[in-house]
Structure 1
Amino acid sequence: MAEKFPKVEGGGSLILAWQVKNKKVLVVGGGEVAAGRVLNLLNADAKVTVISPRDGLNDEVAYRIDHREVQYFDRKFEPSDLDDDQITMVLTAVDDPEASSQIWKLCKERKIAANIADVPPECDFYFGSVHRDGPLQIMVSTNGNGPKMANIVRRRIAANLPPNIGNAIAKVGELRKKLRAVAPGNDQGPKRMKWYVAVVMLFKSTKLTYSRMSNVCLQWSLEDLCDMEEEDMSQLLQYYTPDKVPSLNQIRLGDDPDEWKFDGSFGWACVV
């Protein structure tokens, strides 16, 4: 019986997409590592506060400060900086192991999630190497064992992705929102999900051969999704009620959704 289920592999991390939009995050330090942390946080729409003496600022961090993208205090960290109960997390990036450990202990006392740069045992979470293409985010984590290796793996993955994958995902996201407006009821949930899954390409591959996806999709390709316009979406949604899934060409040819028959001879799944 046990052979039917995945084997448990301990020692990993629970990889999540932490939503920090409009939440306060404290960054202690202003060097190169801090610059990367600050950019990641701003990309996630967090409210960032940086604490660091001015003479220790990286050019990028100084730029963020000068352009008021972050709140800034020109001094070293003080325990009272953690008194704000709105602080969601603390990130330290300073060349002072003793000071970093002290901040870690203070965060534990206040039950604030913290990441102490280059000290895995004193991290509630890790920063992986991230590939970003519009709404697409792919993170590679080595659980603190080899950050440089994570960067190499991330580059390998990114190099094998279609250049337009982010745009395709954005278009699918727009379609999903419009579908919920057309069929908002909870009772429509199962049908809505089934129809949506039929539209979205299902990538069934265990190899990094995504650059060939557009050649093996039996119906819509990434290029089709990228080319899909507002009018195409409106036309496509007319096929929801009769529960049909047309091609982009059929939509643009103006096929009547009440007359067009889907015989099941093709699907939307991609196989490699």
Structure 2
Amino acid sequence: MAKSRFPEIQGGGSLILAWQVRGKRVLVVGGGEVAAGRIYNVLNADAKVTVISPREGLNEEVAYRVEQKQVDLVDRKFEPSDLDNVDMVLTAVDDPEASTQIYKLCKERKLPANIADVPPECDFYFGSVHRDGPLQIMVSTNGNGPKLANIVRRQIATNLPDNIGAAIQKVGTLRRRLRKVAPDPDEGPKRMQWMSKVCESWPLEDLCDMNDRDMEQLLGFYQPGKVPTLDQLRLHEQPGIVGFDGAFGWW
């Protein structure tokens, strides 16, 4: 049988997505070390977090989040009514039976839930995440080996350029300004193609060094579909230098 030109289906994986929870109401049941990690992750995603835990059970980090009013604390054990008006539930308590009961209640209400350290009772997993500004890279072992995911994530991070996060921020700014220059939805494919040219032809150092004036100059080359280098853009601005056209010729 001839080998297919399409990728083989492996199965057994997860659909890894960037879940937008900004402004969503996330309930965290528990206040220990694992809960602290969950809280940190969802706060980084700008969620509104409520923690259900007796105050005496809070670890140092969770207590700090409460003190700084980064999260709301309900000082008691979980009650079913806590699931009213929430969008996501995370549990991190040392009580398997109670955790299972919470998961079942979440399923009845169709609430996405993650039950710490119980993969079969998780609608989603937390991976090991590397963060550099807007850049996020997640490594998941689909619940098989969280520690190994952390090792793999560190290995990936050590091979990334130090300035990758700053470069991505500049690209994001350029992309937003391009949408203002060419707002027509029909321009979408051309915008994507031109931004791809910029990312492929400019080194990270130049992307980081690009300022507002450089962006304004560069956007002038969008319509002809050209991408000059940063040096070419700046050379054009120097006194006594002849002009520079969109085809990279001199006039």
TM exceeds 0.5? yes
The answer as to 2:216 corresponding to 1:234 is yes
Cα deviation, 1:167-204, whole Å, max 9, x if unaligned, reads 00110110000111101112222222211111112xxx
State how far apart, in whole Å, the 1-side matches of 2:158 and 2:246 are.
43
Is the Cα–Cα contact under 8 Å of residues 226 and 247 in structure 2 kept in the other structure?
no
Q: How many corresponding residue pairs? A: 243
One-letter code aligned to 1:256:
F
Correspondence for 2:133: 134
Correspondence for 1:106: 105
RMSD between superposed Cα atoms in Å: 1.3
State how far apart, in whole Å, the 1-side matches of 2:233 and 2:151 are.
42
Is the Cα–Cα contact under 8 Å of residues 242 and 257 in structure 1 kept in the other structure?
no
Correspondence for 1:182: 181
State how far apart, in whole Å, the 2-side matches of 1:257 and 1:188 are.
22
Correspondence for 1:205: none
Correspondence for 1:209: none
State how far apart, in whole Å, the 2-side matches of 1:260 and 1:120 are.
57
The answer as to 2:241 corresponding to 1:253 is no
State how far apart, in whole Å, the 2-side matches of 1:53 and 1:238 are.
60
Correspondence for 1:167: 166
Q: Secondary structure at the match of 2:39?
A: helix
Correspondence for 2:24: 23
Correspondence for 1:33: 34
1:23 to partner: Cα distance: 0.5
**Structure 2 matches for 1:61-210, cutoff 5 A?**
61-84=62-85, 87-201=86-200
State how far apart, in whole Å, the 1-side matches of 2:44 and 2:76 are.
25
Q: Secondary structure at the match of 1:130?
A: strand
Identity %: 71
One-letter code aligned to 1:257:
D
1:83 to partner: Cα distance: 2.2
Is the Cα–Cα contact under 8 Å of residues 226 and 246 in structure 2 kept in the other structure?
no
Correspondence for 1:60: 61
CA distance 1:3–1:258, shift in 2 (3 Å): closer
Q: Secondary structure at the match of 2:136?
A: strand
Q: Secondary structure at the match of 2:4?
A: helix
CA distance 1:242–1:118, shift in 2 (3 Å): same
Cα deviation, 1:129-157, whole Å, max 9, x if unaligned, reads 00000000000000000000000000000
Cα deviation, 1:75-114, whole Å, max 9, x if unaligned, reads 0000111122xx1110000011111010001001111000
State how far apart, in whole Å, the 1-side matches of 2:178 and 2:184 are.
11
Is the Cα–Cα contact under 8 Å of residues 179 and 237 in structure 1 kept in the other structure?
yes
Is the Cα–Cα contact under 8 Å of residues 25 and 49 in structure 2 kept in the other structure?
yes
One-letter code aligned to 2:9:
V
State how far apart, in whole Å, the 1-side matches of 2:185 and 2:27 are.
40
Q: Structure 1: which 5+ runs fail to align?
A: 202-218, 262-272
1:51 to partner: Cα distance: 0.4
Cα deviation, 1:190-245, whole Å, max 9, x if unaligned, reads 222211111112xxxxxxxxxxxxxxxxx421111110111110110011122211
**Structure 2 matches for 1:208-223, cutoff 5 A?**
219-223=201-205
TM-score, normalized by length of structure 2? 0.94
Q: Which has the higher contact order (CA 8 A, sep 6+)?
A: 1
Q: Secondary structure at the match of 2:228?
A: coil
Q: Structure 2: which 5+ runs fail to align?
A: 237-242
Q: Secondary structure at the match of 2:10?
A: coil
